[in-house]
Structure 1
Amino acid sequence: MSRLDSMLRRLSAQRDGLNWAAAQIADQPGEVLDMGLGNGRTYDHLREILPDRRIRVMDRVLACHPSCTPPEEDFLLGEAEPMLQHLAAEGVQVILAHYDFGRGIKKDDVAEAARLSPLIAKIMAPGALLVSGQPLVGFEQISGPDTIAKDRYLFYRA
């Protein structure tokens, strides 16, 4: 599979997974958290499919397209550990989280996801969903939509 085909498959899986998760949590209270703003495409999609939800975003840098810049009060700038600790101290309850941290080195990205998992767990509401490009630990892995190949994108329940 070419890198272009792989990227298209990943982006389709991400979109289908987020749409599926948004429908699953429609009647449940809680905030949404996008971990890894990047250029803002995912955040922009979350705003479209969850217009009435507060969506917080975190990243090491603010480097997104100007149309995808979150409001200042919803953007957490810096390393993930202190940002997650801040949310936990605030008592934030997340009903849907999207995990998209990574630098493209699989071994390092998997280790970071495992290290951050306990901090993520502290802010997740009971029964909340996590949609992730990396394996997370300490959550119940569940099946996502049938349109996504197994292990292309991962789905968890808190």
Structure 2
Amino acid sequence: MSRLDSMLRRLTAQRDGLNWAAEQTADLAGDALDMGLGNGRTYDHLRELLPQRRIWVIDRQLQCHPSCVPPEQDFLQGEAEDMLNRLSDMNRPVVMAHYDFGFGVKEKDVAEAARLSPMIAQVMAPGGVIVSGQPLVGFQDLDGPAGIPEGRYFFYRA
């Protein structure tokens, strides 16, 4: 499979997973969380998908497209561990989260996701759903939406 086809499959799985998670959490009260702003495509989709929810964003740097800059009060800039702890201290229950932190090295990305999993658990509301590009630990595995190949994206309930 070409890298272009692989990227298209990943982005389609991400979008379909986020849409599915929004449906799964529609009746839950709480916020959303985007871990890894990047250029802002996912955050932009979440704003459209979840206009009724506050969307927290965590990233080391603000370097997204100008149209995708989150409100200053919702952007937690810094290292993931520190920002997850900060969000936990705010006592804002997260009912839907997207995990997209990464270094671009699979083994390193998987280890980081496992290391951050307990801190993610601290901010999640019971019953909340996590859509993740990496495997997380300590959460209930969910099947997610139909049509996403196993291992392409991961779905969890807190």
The list of structure 1 runs, each at least 4 consecutive aligned residues, that deviate by more than 4 angstroms after superposition, is: none
For 2:102, the equivalent position in structure 1 comes to 102
Alignment of 1:142-157 (within 5 A): 142-157=142-157
Are the aligned partners of 1:60 and 1:77 in contact in 2 as well (CA < 8 Å)? Answer: yes
Distance 1:122 1:151 in 2: 25
For 1:43, the equivalent position in structure 2 comes to 43
Displacement after TM superposition at 1:12 (Å): 0.2
SS in 1 for 2:134: coil
Distance 1:40 1:63 in 2: 8
Distance 1:90 1:74 in 2: 12
Q: Cα RMSD between the aligned structures?
A: 0.5
Which amino acid letter does the alignment assign opposite residue 132 of structure 1?
Answer: S
For 1:86, the equivalent position in structure 2 comes to 86
Q: Which runs of 5+ in 2 are unaligned?
A: none
Are the aligned partners of 1:16 and 1:147 in contact in 2 as well (CA < 8 Å)? Answer: no
SS in 2 for 1:122: helix
For 2:5, the equivalent position in structure 1 comes to 5
Calculate the TM-score normalised by the size of structure 2. 0.99
Displacement after TM superposition at 1:2 (Å): 0.3
Alignment of 1:20-31 (within 5 A): 20-31=20-31
SS in 2 for 1:87: helix
Displacement after TM superposition at 1:92 (Å): 1.6
Q: Which runs of 5+ in 1 are unaligned?
A: none
Distance 2:4 2:39 in 1: 18
Distance 1:120 1:45 in 2: 21
Calculate the TM-score normalised by the size of structure 1. 0.99
Percent identical pairs in the alignment equals 70
Displacement after TM superposition at 1:136 (Å): 0.3
